[in-house]
A and B are shown apart, each in its own frame.
Chain A
Amino acid sequence: MNDKYLQYEIEDFLTDDSFIAYAKNLDSSNVQYWKDILDEYPELKGIIEEAKRMVNSFQFEKNIPSDTQIDNIWGSIRQKTIENHNDTKLRNIYKIVISAAAAIILIFAITSIIDTGEKIMTARAETNSINLPDNSIVNLNVDSKITYKKATWKKKRLVKLSGEAFFKVQKGKIFVVETPKSFVEVLGTSFNVYDRDSSLDVKCFTGKVRVISKNMMDTILLTPGFAVFQTNGKKLKTYTFDTKEKSIWKDNILAFDNKSLKFVFAELERVFDIHIVAEKSILNRYFTGQIVLKSKRETLENVCWPMHLKYKIEGKTVYITK
């Protein structure tokens, strides 16, 4: 039935797609087909072996992208496609009309039922602990805000954050924290997110945390003890920290690793709801160390003493001098 193979030269086998699938062991139906041929025409054994070897000897120098490359490029694609997602949909006029009509009906008829999302804010010198619908916990630091939607929570665990918060997430569907500068994606873990002014900082305490920077399109996967920070929209940088050591605001500790006093004072202003006045030459100095948050006076003492600075408290304003 397949007499034609008796006339085959090596190159005829090698131009036959089903033969290559067989030689490379790609799919079972072709493998079976060629095994049957071999049973029927055992005299083909030699040439088929040679052809098979030739297929497998085409080994080229390879260019293999690294996992980071694959992830980074996906990060940029994702950023540009997820954000445009809604725009492209809106191009369709028909859909605009429908959604506008639906919106009007909703606004006038059932305003009370609309899920505008839960919004929780803390003022300066005020922290809060929030239980999310799935019992995940958010510890919200001073002067911060989160929003999330109760109605769609089961489908989408998305929390928008500005400021700083510590998350303890229940296992389940992907949990996303969106901040002005990043997406932080996790499955079930505990981590701290800080996004204020020009700084972003994410620390992973348990589980795995994926940080996607919005402007640099960087993605980094963090495991416990690893953290990432970014200043002024530069590349994400990782560093390590001790997860057992109490080192974050939640434990009433502020740890600074070579941070400007401007940055340190901004933190203190938020924690104690004060206003700190200091000249530029002071603000530009760098500070490394841990500050245990006690009373306003003690804390200021702990910062000023090692830096040889003096402070004077006048109501809500603190003057710091050399």
Chain B
Amino acid sequence: MTAPAIAVGGLRHSYGDLDVLEGVDLEVAPGTIHALLGSNGAGKTTLIRILSTLLKADAGEARVAGHDVASAPAEVRAAISLTGQHSAVDDVLSGRENLVLIARLRRVPDPGAVADALLARFGLTEAGARRASTYSGGMRRRLDIAMSLIGDPRVIFLDEPTTGLDPEARREVWAAVRALADGGTTVLLTTQTLDEAEHLADRIAILHEGRIIVDGTLAELKALIPAPTVEYVEKQPSLEEVFLAVVGAKEMP
């Protein structure tokens, strides 16, 4: 088996008295899409921020692309890309200028050509010369993700990449993420929408009360609750039901 792209062991973090991560263990295989599910405040963003070197863990170990996030943050940063919850786009610059800026910061040869290629790939060629502030939510997200791809990072973190997008824009983002993994990039994405995890992820981990309580493929997760009893119609459990069952929610919607 190849070395994991992301390896997290016993990771802890608290904000003052509030323990957010209480010993997270997680492994993500290279070239796969791993979804991190959890309720609001479960600590998904905290975990992503630690893995992308924006935040220091209180305890535990985290290695990304073979480098320790605490002792070798520069090597980690060279290997990763982060698309945070708030779109990290410069509103005053045009879409193309945003891409050129990141390409220059990453010392990519011929930033202009890289920018044009990404604009074309994400359907933004026509909007490329317009200021990013004029973009729709979906266009901003696509630009944001396009900016994350510059320099071909081996690991990409997507923190709730489709929050606030309409279904069509969501599908566009899904296609882009799928294409990334097909190209060999490792993707760790957080989401609250369960069908997103169901559609995209090779493996799904559920973060609840500071720990990963379940980690497996969709089929493995579905096997966690008893097979449906056959009465009149067979009803396969949806991932949403699995999620609510394993986190121990009191009532079904």
A binds B: no
